[in-house]
């Protein structure tokens, strides 16, 4: 059976309009969509925004006073 190219094209365009979620930001916890600028930290994705990076590091680290 030969597929109708118009139908296939229509489906493809529909998919392209829908933002594709590729993961979750380890900082803010929001979804990361295709085309967004992110840092890939050993497979963990973080938005390239200072607030996300700060939250990510805060989640990963021990909070302490330097020198103590
Ligand atoms: Zn984020």
Q: How far is the CA of 4 from the centre of ligand 1 (A)?
A: 41
pTM of the model: 0.67
pLDDT at 19: 82
Nearest to 41 by CA among 28, 22, 60: 60
Cα 56 to its chain centre, rounded Å, is 13
Query: Are the beta carbons of 24 and 32 closer than 8 angstroms?
Result: yes
Nearest to 52 by CA among 34, 32, 26: 26
Q: How far is the CA of 10 from the centre of ligand 1 (A)?
A: 32
| Tokens at 65, concatenated | 């006073």
The per-residue pLDDT for range 7-18, each reduced to its tens digit, is 666 666 666 667
Q: Which residues surround ligand 1, an ion (CB under 5 A)?
A: 25, 27-28, 47, 52
């Amino acid at each position: 059976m030969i597929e109708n190219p118009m139908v296939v094209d229509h489906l493809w365009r529909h998919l392209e309009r829908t933002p594709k979620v590729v993961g979750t930001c380890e900082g803010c916890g929001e979804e990361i969509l295709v085309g967004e600028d992110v840092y890939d930290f050993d497979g963990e994705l973080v938005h390239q925004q200072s607030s996300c990076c700060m939250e990510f590091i805060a989640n990963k680290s021990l909070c302490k006073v330097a020198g103590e």
